[in-house]
Structure 1
Amino acid sequence: MTRRRDFLAANGGRRVVMPGFVLQVRPRDDGDAAIRVGFTVTKKIGNAVVRNRMKRRLRALARDLLPGKGIAGADHVLIGRQGGIERDYQALTAELAKALTRAASPESASDQRPREPRVHHGRGKGRSPRGGAHRQPATPSQEPA
């Protein structure tokens, strides 16, 4: 997957959180039985070298497991988490197999509910709508009785 709209659509699907990654799965309605996959690793994980290493690990996991255990006709998105780089590859493999099993099962786990999309207004963190920093309103001083 390469289009942003596909990643946003997958964000509305089922989500399974694991220690090394997050798996999002959303069935497509186009009738195509192909398994599509996308990868995301944010800058919070580390610099470009670390992010690319994490993406290579996620690609290898997908190449090994998705053809046999993936959901046909669905988009799969693997999102790298902070601990994914240090985790053993065998542990990641077991976690992805478990996540794919959970994603294919009927919705019963709490970690599989669809998320509400985040709304970003482009104002940055800690800013008020007028551009100034957030401040607590002044509390009236209490006068001694």
Structure 2
Amino acid sequence: MTPPGARVAGETPVATDAPPAVSSCLQVLRKRADFLRAARARRQGTPAFTLQARERPPGEAEGIRVGFTCSRKVGNAVARNRAKRRLREVARLVLPSHGRAGWDYVLIGRPEVTATRDFATLQADLKRALASVHAPPR
């Protein structure tokens, strides 16, 4: 019997210290400056969250970048984390197909609604918000 964690001949080690990714094609915003730049750009409200979107200038990082935030108004730490988990999952499912490369997106949770809204409706909200943000200005 092999002890747990022991390497078996022919087995390749798996790195577990890598940070969790939202999706392979999505990068997570981590710097405050990126969030502030997105806050000055386009925004679209939905019943469950607010979407802020910013097209990056050419020459910056490629791909889709996304950030998540929930204020204390959303609730205690448990409620905020639940809301952010749901937003991360919605972004993972919707942004690769409906988002645009070269854009930053920030999803901001809303009190009580983000954590309790039906998941399919949450996805539809994000698709509708993305369509609105990418529509040409009137």
Q: TM-score scaled by structure 2?
A: 0.76
Between the aligned partners of 2:132 and 2:85, the Cα distance in structure 1 is 24
Query: For residue 88 of structure 2, what is the aligned residue in structure 1?
Result: 59
Q: What is the RMSD computed on CA atoms of the aligned residues?
A: 0.9
- Higher mean alpha-carbon deviation, 26-35 vs 77-86, is at 26-35
Whether 2:54 is the aligned partner of 1:23: answer no
In the alignment, the residues of structure 2 paired with residue 106 and residue 10 of structure 1 have an alpha-carbon distance, to the nearest angstrom, of: 18
Greater CA radius of gyration, 1 or 2?
1
1:58-97 → structure 2 map (5 Å cutoff): 58-82=87-111, 83-97=113-127
How many percent of aligned residue pairs carry the same amino acid? 50
Once the two structures are superposed, residues 57-98 of structure 1 have per-residue CA deviations (whole angstroms, 9 ceiling, x without a partner) of: 000000000011002101000000111111100110000000
User: After TM superposition, which residue ranges in structure 1, 4 or more long, deviate above 4 angstroms?
Assistant: none
Looking at structure 1, the residues matched to 119 and 137 of structure 2 have their Cα atoms a distance apart, in angstroms, of: 28
**Would you say 1:39 and 2:39 are equivalent positions?**
no
| Residues 12-67 of structure 1, C-alpha deviations (whole Å, 9 max, x = no match) | 11100000000000011143431000000000010000000000000000000001
Alpha-carbon separation, structure 2, partners of 1:42 and 1:30: 32
SS at structure 2 position matched to 1:33: coil
List aligned pairs for 1:99-138, cutoff 5 A. 99-108=129-138
Q: Which amino acid aligns with 1:4?
A: R
Q: What TM-score, normalized by structure 1, do the two folds share?
A: 0.72
Alpha-carbon separation, structure 2, partners of 1:85 and 1:58: 9
Q: C-alpha distance in 1, partners of 2:45/2:137?
A: 14
Unaligned runs of 5+ in 2: 1-28
